[in-house]
Structure 1
Amino acid sequence: MESLDDVPSLPTFRDPALLDLALIHRSYANEHPEVGQNNETLEFLGDSVLNFLSTHFLYRLYPDLNESQLTRLRSALVDETQLADFANYLELGKKMKLGKGAIKDKARKNDSLLSDTFEAIIGAYFLDSGIEAVRNFVEPLFESAAEGLLDRKLTAESSILLDTKNRFQEWVQGNLGPTQPKYETIAQSGPAHAPDFTVEVKVGNQVYGVGKGHSKKEAEKRAAELALKQVGAL
């Protein structure tokens, strides 16, 4: 991230309960059944909101780039590492509600959990205040990271920097037509603070790859990597 002088702090919620829910990790909810919910569905919503807003932001900022270049920039702008950087700036690690085991395992510094919590905050703020409020909140964060993205030369030639999910999507659309790969979690094991996920990626009814990871995103990327290897694109 470049300069954060103009980046806002955590937004004020009209409904504080939504913010509170966004900070509740599954490990905390398991140890405190009275809370009833955790932040996973808000994380799912926030992921979609961030993808939309980052796409619009980059489209406006770099009107001369082509689709492939914009896809690479978006991939870097909302990947786990970058979102964890945003979360660290907002000090979400201190605010996350975690179970005792997760705290013992230093989950407050875990990029995957920080990224997930940031997405949950975005999902909650979208429900609380709408898309324009979220846009006003995230665009200064995006702007602070944008110069760094260009410094990494994310051009059409640097395909290695495009994450495997987007690379597999490009292969599918280039070889199978206008369709989307679908990722499905087929197994989950391990404790709440350190789960293991198994995900398969399909196009139509055909499975192209199966991946494992400590987060769904990691498992999805590994499934896509195996799919790329299977079709000879990696």
Structure 2
Amino acid sequence: MKLSVELTTLQKALGHHFADPRLLLRAVTHGSRSGPGREDNQRLEFLGDRVLGLVMAEALLQRDSAASEGQLAPRFNALVRKETCADVARDVGLGDALKLGRSEQLSGGRRKQALLGDAMEAVIAAVYIDAGFDTARDLILRLWGARIDGVDEDAKDAKTSLQEWAQARGLPPPAYVETARTGPDHAPVFTIQARLHSGETAEATAGSKRQAEQMAAKALLEQLG
């Protein structure tokens, strides 16, 4: 099977040459593009999530032999959450290689966090099936790289950090208000404003309320210094 230019570029960015290129094609095929003779990446995503989890659990244990389960859990969650997978996907240009149906293409599917995160997990599974666990582990550790070393800073999500900031100053918890919603029903885009009782605000826009809230909280934290 001859790979397209986009898949060839992705393969180079991943640093893995697939013995079975069909696995990579399947890993980047969204359900909106699947059909007879073309499987989507949902089953690979399921497997890749488990492979990623095992690699990260192992890496965290090796990194800090004295850490308790209570310390390890938030670090683990920070490394395997969909936002992190999507960030890694952007680093390797995975969005350009996604195979999407027309509706997803028109609604900006190549930039959607959920689609990118799912596809990154599917790619991990494709590498695992193609070359085994050791190769998949090496790929993950290489792509996640500095994120593992800096995970202590990311272990708390932005909303939790903002709430702690407010509580430390005797303020009520931040409020999150939806100020706008655009886009079609199947692909809505939300604008959320994070508000502190002391008057500071920040807004962010994303394809899910949760992501927009996290982004708004992060923006407000940066504003507060």
TM-score, length of structure 1 as denominator length = 0.61
Shift of 1:140: 1.9
**SS in structure 1 at match of 2:150:** helix
Does the CA-based 8 Å contact 2:75-2:154 persist in structure 1? no
- Seq. identity, %: 32
Does the CA-based 8 Å contact 1:22-1:117 persist in structure 2? yes
**What is the match of residue 13 of structure 1?**
18
**SS in structure 1 at match of 2:36:** helix
Within the candidate set 24, 30, 41, 2:29 is matched to 24
> What is the CA–CA distance in structure 2 between the aligned matches of 1:35 and 1:93, rounded to whole Å?
23
Within the candidate set 130, 133, 143, 1:131 is matched to 133
**What is the match of residue 54 of structure 2?**
52
Within the candidate set 122, 135, 146, 1:120 is matched to 122
> What is the CA–CA distance in structure 2 between the aligned matches of 1:46 and 1:113, rounded to whole Å?
14
Does the CA-based 8 Å contact 1:84-1:118 persist in structure 2? yes
Letter in 2 for 1:13: F
**SS in structure 1 at match of 2:19:** coil
Shift of 1:54: 0.5
Shift of 1:153: 6.0
1:54-69 alignment, distance < 5 Å: 54-69=56-71
- What do residues 60-99 of structure 1 show as CA deviations (whole Å, max 9, x unaligned)? 0111211111111010001111100100011000000000
What stretches of structure 1 of length at least 5 have no aligned partner? 1-7, 162-189, 196-213, 219-234
Shift of 1:51: 0.5
**SS in structure 1 at match of 2:39:** coil
> What is the CA–CA distance in structure 1 between the aligned matches of 2:125 and 2:19, rounded to whole Å?
14
> What is the CA–CA distance in structure 2 between the aligned matches of 1:194 and 1:40, rounded to whole Å?
19
> What is the CA–CA distance in structure 2 between the aligned matches of 1:97 and 1:88, rounded to whole Å?
15
Letter in 1 for 2:96: K
Letter in 1 for 2:113: D
CA RMSD of aligned residues (A): 2.7
Letter in 2 for 1:146: I
Does the CA-based 8 Å contact 1:21-1:38 persist in structure 2? yes
> What is the CA–CA distance in structure 1 between the aligned matches of 2:66 and 2:159, rounded to whole Å?
19
**What is the match of residue 92 of structure 1?**
94
What stretches of structure 2 of length at least 5 have no aligned partner? 1-11, 162-183, 189-206, 211-225
Does the CA-based 8 Å contact 1:54-1:142 persist in structure 2? no
Shift of 1:142: 2.8
Does the CA-based 8 Å contact 1:25-1:38 persist in structure 2? yes
| Number of aligned residue pairs | 156
State which structure, 1 or 2, has the greater radius of gyration over its C-alpha atoms.
2
Does the CA-based 8 Å contact 2:20-2:130 persist in structure 1? yes
Letter in 1 for 2:137: R
Does the CA-based 8 Å contact 2:28-2:99 persist in structure 1? yes
> What is the CA–CA distance in structure 2 between the aligned matches of 1:74 and 1:147, rounded to whole Å?
12
Letter in 1 for 2:51: V
